[in-house]
Amino acid sequence: MPRAANYKMDNQHALLIIMAVFVAIAAIALLIQAGMLIGIYKSARTTEEYVKRVIPKVESILPKMEVLVESSTATIDMSRKQIHEITVKASDILDVTRLQLARIDGVLEDASERAHNQLAHAEMVIDETMSRAQETVAVVQSGIMTPLREIQGVAAGVRTAIFYLLRGGRPSPAQATADEEMFI
């Protein structure tokens, strides 16, 4: 049994050493936590002092901010009303524009139809005028030019007869050819 007792003691001794190590680790962890708490405490104090210095400034700005918020709200409300009015007016202008475009479209269609009718009428007048001009030319041809040609032919015959009678003899062949060419 001495050995068993010795083994039991070694186990207890090892267990005490392990417990001592864990207690030491726990103590170190607690010291680290305490150091961190002290650091957090100092940081909180510094922040508290800074906030105490900033609070008066914030409190002095707060009424201005409230006025600014109220002013902004009023401006936004007024802008909404103006935007609504502008939208209504723009809608009215678009409606009037649509009506005017419909009227202009009607006027343009009417003007186009009238211009087409006038062009057709002018074409008929020009056709009639051209046919009358052709008739007039035909009348002038038959009424004036034909008698003028006949008179010219008779005058040429009388002239030839007078030249023949005044000359007295037979004409030379050169002269006869010239007179014949004149009739041709």
How does pLDDT run across 44-92, given as a tens digit for each residue?
Answer: 999 999 989 888 888 888 888 888 888 889 889 898 999 999 999 999 9
| Coil/strand/helix, residue 169 | coil
Tens of pLDDT, residues 112-121: 999 889 999 8
Confidence of residue 93 (pLDDT cuts 50, 70, 90): very high
Residue 61 lies in a domain: yes
pTM of the predicted structure, to 2 decimals: 0.35
- 62 in a domain, yes or no? yes
User: Does residue 184 fall inside a structural domain?
Assistant: no
Number of domains in the chain: 1
Is residue 178 included in any domain, yes or no? no
- Per-residue pLDDT of 94-114, as tens digits, reads 999 999 998 998 899 988 999
Query: 145: domain range?
Result: 2-163
Q: Is residue 96 part of a domain?
A: yes
Q: Where are the alpha helices (DSSP H) in the chain?
A: 2-140, 146-167, 173-183
Contacts of residues 30-35 at CB distance under 8 Å and 24 or more positions apart, as own/partner, are: none
Residue 168 falls inside a structural domain: no
The answer to whether position 182 is within a domain reads: no
pLDDT of 26 strictly over 60? yes
Inside any domain, residue 169: no
Residue 179: closest CA among 152, 157, 146, 151: 157
